[in-house]
């Protein structure tokens, strides 16, 4: 079986050494030493001023929305993302307003953002899709012009850069996911990043029920903490991240080579983005072509995924909007298997099947 992804797992003995330390200290959660260490190591690696380690990427988004004390009821966002981007907005009591995506990059279109701004707009929540950065400069200019806050959902973006800086270094807040399927993972986990120290301090209270002391509270909070066991996995995996990024690039370039004659296209990477090869998406000419390839690969026990389908504007708890680019492209995008231990031979098999379907229909 070839799944769409597999988590990277480090040598078991390296993780066990950290677990033995946790056992000896008997400090399992509540801002333990390994949680503090992973925050420090991530800030050093990514070149960030501030980063808070939290339970997952969804709680990171929810904390970001809550911490900004937004004025207004609407948040402009992308319909082409994982469901957590939209559900976090709704969960926090705001109305998602969808701006269509750019047909080449598949990230939110700044011109469409501008067209959606009203007196009720509180913020922009944009997703860097597949690790490909949005047009950050254009979005930030729009936000400043209209006095709006910007949250970047950078769940896919560990290792991606924009203008030479980590993509986590932009916006009022950027959030990340460290879920097991991500390039860098802590089994479950996420982060909140911001250059505003006061905002980071607010989030640090919020992730721990609002505690500012054992019997004191700085305000409303929730349980957004993470454990020593998850931090331990992150500390081990961080040692291998450069090799992981190198291998994913190598595999992606090999895909490019063996699929060069396949009648599909790929998203355009932003010119200012140093891409992390988080996914390998291909865009078919029609949904029928995608369906044939999807079914044939599944029969061979190869399991790509339709990231992201359907459009988030189709969710049952949001107001549906006419989004022609997203509605079209979301039906034609397929992400092929890509993970650290994927072999060139397995990529050859995938390529042969795709070419056979294209040339012979079987």
Residue pLDDT tens, the chain, 362 long = 999 999 999 999 999 999 999 999 999 999 999 999 999 999 999 999 999 999 999 999 999 999 999 999 999 999 999 999 999 999 999 999 999 999 999 999 999 999 999 999 999 999 999 999 999 999 999 999 999 999 999 999 999 999 999 999 999 999 999 999 999 999 999 999 999 999 999 999 999 999 999 989 999 999 999 999 999 999 999 999 999 999 999 999 999 999 999 999 999 999 999 999 999 999 999 999 999 999 999 999 999 999 999 999 999 999 989 999 999 999 999 999 999 999 999 999 999 999 999 998 87
Q: How far is CA 48 from the centre of its chain?
A: 18
d(CA 75, CA 151) in angstroms, rounded, equals 10
d(CA 224, CA 228) in angstroms, rounded, equals 14
d(CA 9, CA 332) in angstroms, rounded, equals 32
Contact 97, 77 (CB under 8 A): yes
Contact 148, 161 (CB under 8 A): no
What is the fold, at CATH topology level, of the domain defined by 2-99+106-238? 3.40.640
Domain with CATH 3.90.1150.10 in the chain: 241-360
**Tens-place pLDDT, residues 118-134:** 999 999 999 999 999 99
With 0-12 / 13-18 / 19 or more C-beta atoms within 10 angstroms meaning exposed / middle / buried, residue 56 is: buried
SS percent in the chain: helix, strand, coil, step 5: 40, 20, 40
Domain with CATH 3.40.640.10 in the chain: 2-99+106-238
Six token digits for residue 106: 């598949």
pLDDT > 70 fraction of the chain, expressed in percent and rounded: 100
Strand boundaries in 78-154, DSSP class E: 95-98, 121-127, 149-153
d(CA 85, CA 327) in angstroms, rounded, equals 17
Classify 241-360 by CATH class: alpha beta
pLDDT at residue 361, rounded to an integer: 82
């Amino acid at each position: 079986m070839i799944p769409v992804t597999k988590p990277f797992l480090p040598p078991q003995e390296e993780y066990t050494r950290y677990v033995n330390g946790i056992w000896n200290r008997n400090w399992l959660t509540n801002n333990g030493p390994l949680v503090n260490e992973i925050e420090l190591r991530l800030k050093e690696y990514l070149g960030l001023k501030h980063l808070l380690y939290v339970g997952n990427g969804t709680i990171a988004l929810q904390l970001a929305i809550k911490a900004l004390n937004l004025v207004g009821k609407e948040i402009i966002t992308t319909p082409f993302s994982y469901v957590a981007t939209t559900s976090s907005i709704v969960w926090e009591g705001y109305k998602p307003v969808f701006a269509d995506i750019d047909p080449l990059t598949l990230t939110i279109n700044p011109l469409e953002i501008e067209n959606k701004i009203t007196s009720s707009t509180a913020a922009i929540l944009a997703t860097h899709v597949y690790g490909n950065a949005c047009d950050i400069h254009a979005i930030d200019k729009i936000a400043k012009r209209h006095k709006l806050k910007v949250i970047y959902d950078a769940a896919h973006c560990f290792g991606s850069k924009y203008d030479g800086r980590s993509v986590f270094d932009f916006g009022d807040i950027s959030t990340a996911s460290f879920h097991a399927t991500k390039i860098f993972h802590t089994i479950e986990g996420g982060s909140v990043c911001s250059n505003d120290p006061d905002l980071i301090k607010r989030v640090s209270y919020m992730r721990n029920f609002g505690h500012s002391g054992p019997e004191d509270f700085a305000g409303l909070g929730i349980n957004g903490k993470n454990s020593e066991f998850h931090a331990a996995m992150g500390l081990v995996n961080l040692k291998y991240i450069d090799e992981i990024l190198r291998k994913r690039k190598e595999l992606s370039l090999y895909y490019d080579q063996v699929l060069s004659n396949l009648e599909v296209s790929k998203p355009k990477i932003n010119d200012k983005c140093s891409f992390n090869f988080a996914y390998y998406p291909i865009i078919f000419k029609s949904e029928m072509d995608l369906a044939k390839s999807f079914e044939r690969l599944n029969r061979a026990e190869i399991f790509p995924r339709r990231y992201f389908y359907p459009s988030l504007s189709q969710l049952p708890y949001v107001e549906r909007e006419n989004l022609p680019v997203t509605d079209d492209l979301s039906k034609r995008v397929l992400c092929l298997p890509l993970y650290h231990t994927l072999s060139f031979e397995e990529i050859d098999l995938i390529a042969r099947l795709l070419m056979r379907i294209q040339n012979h229909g079987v």
